[in-house]
Amino acid sequence: MGPTQCWLSLSSSQQELTQVDNPTPTATADFQERAFPWWTVPEAVLAAFGEKDKSTLITNSLKWIKEQHADLYFYFPEPVLNAKVTRLVNRYNEQTPVTLNQYLHQALHQEVYR
């Protein structure tokens, strides 16, 4: 998305829309396009969120298993699978050479197909 030449603004005092014109928007030469995502989150913030609440990671892992490995997902009753994935996510060590998805797949695959 580049510079905008015209937009609508809501005036706080009169609660009505007014048109704002910008006949000379910033030249595209001055505009540096960045690849998505154009924002960064500090590592300390990511680490703090990851340590405190892993519920989103657990939910996303369950969804990934259901979409990519339905045989493993439907083998276990849902509460049992949820407990297994929660335990595995909490035990996962990020220093290992395997990703979380690989770790989950290997652990569940061993239980189902041993």
Residue 18 belongs to some domain of the structure:
no
- Residue 32 belongs to some domain of the structure: no
108 is written with which tokens?
């569940």
Distance of CA 57 to the CA centre of its chain: 9
Q: Which residues contact 34 (CB under 8 A, 6 or more apart)?
A: none
Taking all residues of the chain, what is their mean pLDDT, rounded to a whole number? 84
pLDDT exceeds cutoff 80 at 24: no
Q: Within a domain: residue 96?
A: yes
Domain annotation covers residue 23: no
Distance of alpha carbon 8 from alpha carbon 22, whole angstroms: 11
Residue 68 included in any domain? yes
Residue 38 included in any domain: no
* Mean pLDDT for the stretch of residues 44-64: 85
pTM: 0.59
